[in-house]
């Protein structure tokens, strides 16, 4: 007999073997047994019931899609269906729903049991990880905003100095003239420059609130871990390789900000290779005689990112680190300016070498931690 509840009809489901049921109940991992042909729940262990707020007995016979809410998007539903069909052994992540209407991020692994129509499904709550990743992404966005604000404020301040100089010159030459237009123009220009100067100071104050904490960092381990994370996100046809220098001193850096700088550089490199290509991230020891070292006595370590993209003209390469300079469509040219700000705030330097048709190499040099 079918029973009705808020989630739809309940179907009669076969009972799992006693030994399997005992193992299921003893597991600390939230687990379901699902009849794959009907996607109905055959058994659920107490850990799953605690995670979702359902009663263990009430789950039997219900559709496994009860984990998804009414507003779940099509992509998530398709991924969930693929997992239940055994097509996603690597697992999926979806926003799952509890009985009380609250949600949590669930990582779901499904595997078919041999010689049966039963599917063993494990549901792991990864909400804390997802929230931490979201907080890190927000922090990086704020950091990028602060760095861009700093760069823009400095550039704007340079323009202001030119305007102030010309306005002072006009005051000296035209200040004694009584023409209303001239007097009004001088007064309003002076007032506008003063307001712009105040705004520039406010922007600089805002950007300087973000001060990175630096510490000794294994740069070889940093770029190796970065590459492992980036591999799955690269466009088709782009190959990423790593080359580490032996006996590399630790760099005195902020690893999160170095990671962010690398992300921007790799994104730019991928944009420069629409048909595919290669990116090499390498670490290297900086010779004491290198002019890029700010304090030669302390030593330095470097990271380089080389791509096989279309490259830049000498004029573009000379301006590539400035705010809003881009070889791409409007609104997407802040990456290298942010990299420049990130490295500079860690007492480092950035240089760029590029030629049309020969790709681009970006080098970042940081103080060594001695």
Question: Where do the domains of the chain lie?
Answer: 3-125, 130-207, 215-367
- 248-262 pLDDT tens trace: 988 888 887 888 889
Q: What is the mean pLDDT of residues 126-145?
A: 74
Q: Could you please report the per-residue DSSP string of 321-343?
A: TSTT--SSSTT---HHHHHHHHH
- In whole angstroms, give the CA distance from residue 335 to residue 262: 10
The whole-model pTM stands at 0.47
pLDDT of residue 331: 37
When pLDDT is cut at 50, 70 and 90, the band that residue 67 belongs to is confident
Tell me which residue has tokens 């709550």: 125
Token pair belonging to 370:
């001695």
Helices 127-174 & 180-207 angle (0-180, nearest 10): 150
- In whole angstroms, give the CA distance from residue 53 to residue 44: 12
When pLDDT is cut at 50, 70 and 90, the band that residue 313 belongs to is confident
H or E element in which residue 188 lies:
helix 180-207
H or E element in which residue 46 lies:
helix 46-52
- In whole angstroms, give the CA distance from residue 35 to residue 49: 18
H or E element in which residue 78 lies:
helix 74-84
Higher pLDDT, 254 or 241: 241
When pLDDT is cut at 50, 70 and 90, the band that residue 333 belongs to is very low
Residue 323 has pLDDT above 80, yes or no: no
Higher pLDDT, 203 or 350: 350
Q: Could you please report the per-residue DSSP string of 131-151?
A: HHHHHHHHHHHHHHHHHHHHH
DSSP state of 163: H
pLDDT of residue 7: 45
pLDDT of residue 5: 39
Residue 329 has pLDDT above 50, yes or no: no
Pick the most confident of 189-193, 328-332, 357-361: 357-361
Residues 6+ apart with CB under 8 A from 37: 117
Share of the chain above pLDDT 90, in %: 14
pLDDT of residue 23: 79
The length of the chain is 370
- 186-214 pLDDT tens trace: 888 888 887 787 777 766 655 655 556 78
Q: Is 94 exposed, middle or buried (0-12, 13-18, 19+ CB in 10 A)?
A: buried
pLDDT of residue 332: 43
45-53: long-range contacts (C-beta < 8 A, 24 or more apart)?
A: 48/123, 51/98, 51/104, 51/123, 51/125, 52/96, 52/98, 52/99, 52/123, 53/98, 53/99, 53/100
> What homologous superfamily does CATH list for 3-125?
PAS domain (3.30.450.20)
- 88-132 pLDDT tens trace: 888 888 888 888 777 888 899 988 888 788 888 899 998 888 877
Q: Residue 155 — φ and ψ, nearest 5°?
A: -65, -45
CATH 3.30.565.10 fits 215-367, yes or no: yes
Higher pLDDT, 141 or 67: 67
């Amino acid at each position: 007999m079918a029973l009705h509840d808020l989630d739809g009809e309940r179907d009669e489901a076969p009972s799992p073997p006693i030994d399997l049921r005992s193992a299921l109940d003893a597991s600390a991992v939230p687990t379901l047994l699902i009849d794959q042909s009907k996607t109905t729940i055959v058994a659920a262990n107490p850990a799953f019931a605690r995670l979702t707020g359902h009663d263990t007995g009430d789950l039997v016979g219900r559709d496994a899609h009860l984990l998804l809410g009414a507003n779940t998007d099509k992509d998530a539903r398709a991924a969930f269906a693929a997992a239940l069909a055994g097509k996603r052994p690597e697992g999926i992540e979806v926003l799952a729903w509890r009985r009380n209407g609250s949600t949590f991020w669930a990582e779901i692994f499904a595997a078919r049991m041999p010689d049966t129509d039963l599917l063993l499904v494990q549901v792991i709550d990864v909400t804390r990880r997802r929230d931490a990743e979201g907080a890190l992404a927000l922090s990086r966005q704020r950091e990028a905003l602060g760095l861009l604000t700093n760069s823009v404020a400095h550039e704007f301040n340079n323009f202001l100095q030119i305007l102030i100089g010309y306005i002072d010159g006009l005051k000296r030459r035209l200040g004694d003239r009584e023409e209303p237009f001239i007097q009004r123009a001088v007064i309003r220009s002076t007032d506008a420059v003063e307001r712009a100067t105040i705004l520039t100071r406010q922007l600089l104050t805002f950007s300087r609130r973000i001060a990175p904490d630096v510490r000794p960092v294994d740069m070889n381990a940093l770029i190796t871990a970065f590459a492992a994370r980036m591999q799955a996100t690269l466009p088709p046809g782009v190959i990423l390789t790593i080359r580490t220098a032996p006996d590399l001193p630790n760099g005195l850096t902020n690893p999160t900000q170095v990671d962010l700088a690398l992300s921007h550089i790799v994104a730019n490199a991928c944009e420069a290779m629409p048909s595919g290509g290669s990116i090499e991230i390498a670490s290297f020891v900086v010779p004491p005689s290198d002019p890029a070292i700010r304090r030669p006595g302390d030593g330095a370590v470097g990271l380089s990112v080389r791509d096989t993209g279309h490259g830049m003209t000498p004029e573009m390469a000379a301006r590539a680190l400035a705010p809003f300079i881009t070889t791409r469509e409007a609104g997407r040219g802040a990456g290298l300016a942010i990299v420049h700000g990130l490295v500079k705030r860690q007492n480092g330097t950035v240089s760029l070498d590029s030629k049309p048709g020969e790709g681009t190499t970006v080098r970042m040099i940081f103080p060594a931690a001695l």
